Amino acid sequence: MLARLTGGLSPLALSLAYLDWATHLAAAPQRQTEIVRNVVRDTGRLLDAVVHAVSPGRKPWSVIQPQAGDRRFSEPQWETPLFNLLA
């Protein structure tokens, strides 16, 4: 059961890798600032896309168009609000 949870990796190895990452991050305030800046930027982009997608009068796929050969989003349910945003 534990192997399924960890994908076959040692829980100790995962813990040590996380501890190493957290230790390096704690000692790098510039990297912390960069991560926070990226989170704020990406959150703003997501909110802009949500507002755009749910605005009245917007057509399906107004936020982004799937590529021509991409059949993953061919079902009509993907054209309804919020599913369009997830696509």
pTM: 0.59
Tens digit of pLDDT for each residue in 58-72?
776 666 677 888 888
Residue 18 DSSP code? H
- H/E run at residue 19: helix 11-26
Q: Quick: pLDDT tens for 29-58.
A: 999 999 999 999 999 988 888 887 777 777
Which of 81, 25, 23, 72 is CA-nearest to residue 52?
Answer: 81
